């Protein structure tokens, strides 16, 4: 198994068959597990033997999902959680203590910004933001108490990139734990561990599920950090449901095929939008006009499934566009088989101030399309009629 490609492992790596000889992993919907004897219970709790005790600690479906994600990210260990945000929060809360400092990229998902600016400061954990336009200044933002370098690449919704090789070297030189939110790329397009990341986080709610059915998250990476995060999760309880783990594990079997189609459709839409008279700018990592196109080609296999663009005429024009869409759904999710359009300034990033939004290029006319798996002609036709 160890020499096989990650795609093969994501399909073949399954929980051991039960005596029913099932081909597809069954769902283990059970809160707890039985002990063979009182002595067996004692030994399990003392961790003298391996085995399942209680689904807040482990469950075969959750273990299978974690194993596959570790295979795909080439990580030593992992811990699954109930949502992407709980993986981010549990990672930071599990690793940091009072007096620590986090250096993060400014282009972050809205709720990650809320954790750094509204929640961790209550426990005396401070943060600074580095701008992607000025990475030379990041070194000067590192303090004696900085422990974590936290990045999202590509970022939501601005699709800015961070050079992972550069970040790996910076973290290494200053003894920082490099944490990368890899939600937009998925392990199929980008593997941050290869560039020196210590931990990789995902919202499994997005492309990993791929059909907009359930919430989940995961942190994978170096065992010594995962052990600390697991301790936090075991006792604070943001456990992933076995049902969602079972679903995500099945979805991983088709991740490469789905991502290829998401990316091809997104590139075709980005190229079309770029030519449209009512569109001011288009951002997509694999468009040659993206300021970090060369970097995208270096660290991502393809450009991802999300396109952001600015409609001429600001918020009114963006609202008008969204209300005219017929096929593409108006929703706040991404990574679904169905294309979704979102207006970040008034929804996912509405809790940021206008100034904070503009600092990461979230303009009033910006629309994000998470391009789905429909026939690309139908996606383009819907966008064109709504832009007309």
Query: Is 104 one of the binding residues for ligand PLP (CB under 6 A)?
Result: no
Q: What's the min distance (Å) between Cβ of 184 and ligand PLP?
A: 6
Q: How far is CA 120 from the centre of its chain?
A: 20
Is residue 209 a contact partner of residue 76, using CB atoms and an 8 Å limit?
Answer: no
* Options 55, 190, 205, 241; binder of ligand PLP; rule CB under 6 A: 205
Pick out residues in 214-233 that bind ligand PLP (CB under 6 A).
Answer: 215, 217
Shortest distance (Å) from residue 263 CB to ligand PLP: 17
Number of residues that bind ligand PLP (CB under 6 A): 14
Closest approach of ligand PLP to the CB of residue 383, in Å: 21
Judged by DSSP in three states, 40 sits in: helix
CB-based contacts of 133, cutoff 8 Å, min separation 6? none
Told to check if 109 binds ligand PLP by CB under 6 A, we report yes
CB closer to ligand PLP out of 13 and 155: 155
Q: What gap in Å lies between CA 160 and CA 132, rounded to an integer?
A: 8
Binders of ligand PLP among 131-170, rule CB under 6 A?
152, 156
Question: Tokens for 240?
Answer: 């992933």
Please, what is the angle between helix 376-387 and helix 255-274, to 10°? 30
Are residues 149 and 178 in contact, defined by beta-carbon separation less than 8 angstroms? yes
**Residue 110 neighbours by CB distance under 10 Å:** 18
Q: Which of 92, 183, 307, 311 binds ligand PLP (CB under 6 A)?
A: 183
Q: What minimum distance in Å lies between the beta carbon of 257 and ligand PLP?
A: 22
Identity of the residue, 30 or 117, whose beta carbon is nearer to ligand PLP in the bound complex: 117
Strand order in the sheet with 366-370: 279-283, 306-311, 366-370, 340-342, 329-330
Alpha-carbon span 337 to 24, nearest angstrom: 23
CA dist., res. 288 & res. 297, Å (int): 10
Instruction: Please state at what angle helix 242-252 crosses helix 60-73, rounded to 10 degrees.
Output: 40
Applying CB under 6 A, among 85, 104, 199, 263 the residue interacting with ligand PLP is: 85
In this chain, which stretch among 67-75, 158-166, 180-188, 225-233 interacts with ligand PLP, using CB under 6 A?
180-188
Q: Which is nearer to ligand PLP, 203 or 310 (CB)?
A: 203
Instruction: Record the tokens describing residue 25, joined without a space.
Output: 């992993």
Q: Does 182 bind ligand PLP (CB under 6 A)?
A: no
Q: Minimum distance between the CB of residue 157 and ligand PLP, rounded to whole angstroms?
A: 8
Q: Distance between CA 160 and CA 150 in Å, rounded?
A: 14
Phi, psi (deg, nearest 5) at residue 225: -80, -40
Site membership for ligand PLP, residue 203 (CB under 6 A): yes
Using CB positions, name the residue nearest to ligand PLP: 84
Least separation in angstroms between CB 81 and ligand PLP: 9
- In this structure, the chain runs to a length of 388
**C-alpha span between 8 and 5 (Å, rounded):** 5
| Shortest distance in whole angstroms from residue 385 CB to ligand PLP | 27
Whether 303 contacts 262, CB under 8 Å = no
Query: Closer CB to ligand PLP, residue 6 or residue 217?
Result: 217
232, 212 in Cβ contact below 8 A? no
**181 is a site residue for ligand PLP (CB under 6 A):** yes
Q: Whose Cβ is closer to ligand PLP: residue 217's or residue 221's?
A: 217
Q: Is 83 in the site for ligand PLP (CB under 6 A)?
A: yes
Q: Which two tokens stand for residue 171?
A: 């973290």
Interface with ligand PLP, residue 62, by CB under 6 A? no
Closest contact distance (angstroms) between CB of 328 and ligand PLP is 17
Scanning 69-77, 177-185, 231-239, 279-287 for contacts with ligand PLP by CB under 6 A, the matching segment is 177-185
To ligand PLP, the closest distance from the beta carbon of 205 in angstroms equals: 4
Interface contacts to ligand PLP, rule CB under 6 A: 83-85, 109, 111, 152, 156, 181, 183-184, 203, 205, 215, 217
């Amino acid at each position: 198994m160890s020499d096989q490609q990650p795609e093969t492992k994501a399909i073949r790596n399954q929980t051991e068959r039960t005596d029913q000889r099932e081909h597809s992993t069954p769902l283990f919907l059970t809160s707890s597990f039985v002990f063979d004897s009182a002595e067996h219970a004692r030994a399990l709790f003392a961790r003298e033997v391996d085995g399942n005790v209680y689904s807040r600690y482990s469950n075969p479906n959750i273990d299978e999902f974690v194993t596959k994600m570790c295979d795909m990210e080439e990580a030593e260990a992992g811990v699954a959680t109930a949502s992407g945000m709980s993986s981010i929060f549990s990672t930071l809360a599990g690793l940091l203590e009072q007096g620590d400092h986090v250096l993060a990229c400014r282009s972050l998902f809205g709720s990650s910004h809320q954790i750094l600016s509204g929640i961790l400061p209550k426990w005396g954990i401070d943060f600074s933001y580095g701008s992607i336009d000025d990475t030379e200044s990041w070194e000067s933002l590192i303090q004696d108490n900085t422990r974590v370098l936290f990045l999202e690449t590509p970022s939501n919704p601005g699709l800015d990139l961070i050079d992972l090789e550069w970040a790996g070297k910076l973290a290494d030189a200053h003894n920082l734990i490099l944490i990368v939110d890899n939600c937009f790329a998925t392990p199929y397009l980008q593997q941050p561990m290869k560039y020196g990341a210590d931990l990789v986080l995902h919202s499994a709610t997005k492309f990993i599920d791929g059909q907009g059915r359930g919430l989940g998250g995961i942190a994978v990476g170096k065992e010594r950090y995962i052990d600390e995060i697991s301790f936090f999760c075991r006792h604070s309880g943001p456990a992933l449901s076995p049902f969602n783990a079972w679903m995500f594990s099945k979805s991983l079997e088709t991740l490469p095929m789905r991502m290829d189609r998401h990316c091809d459709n997104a590139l075709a839409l980005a190229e079309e939008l770029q030519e449209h008279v009512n569109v001011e700018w288009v951002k997509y990592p694999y468009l040659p006009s993206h300021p970090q196109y060369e970097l995208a080609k270096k660290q991502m296999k393809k450009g991802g499934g999300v396109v952001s663009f600015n409609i001429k005429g600001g918020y009114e024009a963006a609202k008008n566009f969204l209300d005219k869409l017929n096929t593409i759904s108006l929703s706040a999710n991404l990574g679904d088989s169905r294309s979704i359009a979102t207006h970040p300034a008034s929804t996912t990033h509405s809790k940021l101030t206008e100034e904070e939004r503009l600092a990461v290029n979230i303009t009033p006319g910006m629309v994000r399309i998470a391009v789905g798996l429909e026939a690309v002609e139908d996606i383009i036709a819907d966008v064109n009629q709504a832009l007309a």
